[in-house]
Amino acid sequence: MQIETFKIFTDLAVNESFTKAASANGITQSAVSQQVRALENKYGVMLIDRGRRHFALTMEGEEFLKASKEIMGVYDGLRMRLHEINDVVSGEIRIASIFSIGLHELPPILKQYRQKFPDVDLQVEYRRSAQVYSLVASGDVDLGFVSYPVKRVGLQVEPFMRDRLVVICHPSHRLAKEVSIRLEAIDGEKFVSFEPDLPTRKVIDRYMRNCGVNVQATMDFDNIETVKRAVEIENGISIVPENTVKQEVENGTLAAVRIEDPQLWRPLGILLKRNRSRTLPVKQLLNALREHSQPQGVDPALDGALEEDAELDTEAVTAGKA
């Protein structure tokens, strides 16, 4: 049995798609089906439950998937160690990130990294927070990036950057002329929010409650890009990380106003699987990320509440892109 067989089966099981597995391995869907049939015949078991409407593995298939991941991990580790002997930085790095970090903080760092190490294949997946935690914990990705990182069993969390949260509004809005405001200044305003289960939304809501601020909720979205578009067409104001609206402010499509009392900051973190060996490309990327890291902090009064609110059960709960 060739190592490619384990990769094909892993791609099929993870993506739950014969089409995606075929595309990832440069073969036809028929070839993927033939590989699975050959495995089932070899071991005398059914790996895929063909009686279900949607893709599903049998119990034997789940066990084979675990073994396939272990085998691929050993194989990739050996390849990386051989490359490290000759100081060759090459291979693959898989990253899972919430949208805002992946679209705004990571690009300049990854661009420099790609220029320095062109033989490294950097793959970035955009996921909700709970999915990022889950992918790192399962070993399906090498690094994860989330906001308001919280400790999880088996995971290592490193501080990365922090974003200042600002009020954004249409340039014609009454607040647009202000340089900075107290949070109470948005009381009664129409407000475009993140979805209720997102970490950033939870922090904003808690600050508003603490300051006695009440807003008129107009709509909820699960990512910053959609929130910005809604504010641009005057559906209300919002609060977002300052780094995410630099282009819109420069273009004059949005105005950003800092909140001075209280100041709101959004810490960002890097997730790593604890006790997992790091390949040379991952080590080099971590060095590059640490060079860009910034002092962090979150209001101690909110920190414990975040731990309580962000019980990110990776099997049952979806937390946010924000």
What mean pLDDT do residues 275-288 have?
89
By residue range, what is the domain housing residue 288?
89-322
Within this chain, do residues 105 and 41 fall inside the same structural domain, yes or no?
A: no
Mean pLDDT, to the nearest integer, of 309-318? 32
The verdict on 311 and 165 lying in the same domain is yes
Give me 163's structure tokens: 């974003």
Model pLDDT for residues 251-271, shown as the tens digit of each residue: 999 999 999 988 899 999 999
1 or 289, higher pLDDT: 289
- Residues 287, 280: Cα–Cα separation, whole Å: 11
- pLDDT of 70 reads 86
Question: Could you give the CA distance from residue 160 to residue 219 in angstroms, rounded to a whole number?
Answer: 30
126 and 207 in a single domain? The answer is yes
Q: Which residue has the higher pLDDT, 27 or 3?
A: 27
pLDDT band at 83 (very low <50, low <70, confident <90, very high): low
Both structure tokens of 27:
């073969």
**135 lies in the same domain as 230:** yes
CA distance 211 to 262: 9
Domain count, the chain: 2
Average the pLDDT over 193-200 and give the result. Answer: 90
**Is 248 contained in some domain?**
yes
Which of 10-14, 15-19, 47-51, 301-305 is the least confident region?
Answer: 301-305
In 117-191, alpha helices (H): 129-138
Domain closes at, from 75, 106, 131: 75
Same domain, 52 and 185: no
What CATH number did the domain enclosing 105 receive?
Answer: 3.40.190.290
Report CA dihedral (235, 237, 240, 243) to the nearest 10 degrees.
90
At 29, which CATH number?
A: 1.10.10.10
Binned at pLDDT 50, 70 and 90, residue 80 comes out as low
The rounded distance, in Å, linking the Cα atoms of 110 and 295 is 21
pTM of the model: 0.66
Residues 194 and 227 in one domain: yes
pLDDT band at 279 (very low <50, low <70, confident <90, very high): confident
pLDDT at 27 over 70: yes
One domain for residues 174 and 318? yes
C-alpha distances (whole Å) from 296 to each of 61, 119, 240, 273 are 44, 33, 17, 21
More confident residue, 275 or 254: 254
Per-residue pLDDT for 296 more than 80? no
- For 46, residues 6+ apart whose C-beta sits below 8 A from its C-beta are 40, 58, 60, 61
Please determine, for residue 321, whether its predicted confidence score (pLDDT) is greater than 70.
no
Q: Using the 3D structure, point to which of 75, 102, 121 is the last residue of a domain.
A: 75
Residue 80 located in a structural domain: no
Q: Which residues pair with 216 in a beta bridge?
A: 190
**The pLDDT of residue 289:** 94
Residue 276 vs residue 81, higher pLDDT: 276
Please report which confidence band the pLDDT of residue 178 belongs to, taking 50, 70 and 90 as the band edges: very high
pLDDT exceeds cutoff 80 at 102? yes
pLDDT of residue 316: 28
* Residue 138 predicted with pLDDT over 60: yes
pLDDT score at 314:
29
